[in-house]
Amino acid sequence: MEWIAENLPKDTYINIMPQYTPAHKAYDYPEISRRITGKEYKKVVQRAKDMGLTNLDIQDYWWL
């Protein structure tokens, strides 16, 4: 996201998706062996906004 904010127009379309689901060998790596939390998703969305990105596709789910 930092690269996008620094190198592309601020209104570049960005889809921030919260539905990552670990599969197959992801479970061999603790840092990617779980779904993200609502708090983590909100943090990423806020970071994008703080960097001035304006064309964000933000997905709201019941767990957020």
- Nearest partner of 16 among 52, 50, 60, judged by Cα: 60
pTM of the model as a whole: 0.79
pLDDT at 62 over 90: no
Please write the tens of the pLDDT for every residue from 9-55.
999 999 998 888 999 999 999 999 999 888 999 999 999 999 999 99
Residue 36 vs residues 5, 15, 18, 42: alpha-carbon distances, Å: 23, 16, 7, 10
Q: How confident is the model at residue 61 (pLDDT cuts 50, 70, 90)?
A: low
Contact 53, 5 (CB under 8 A): yes
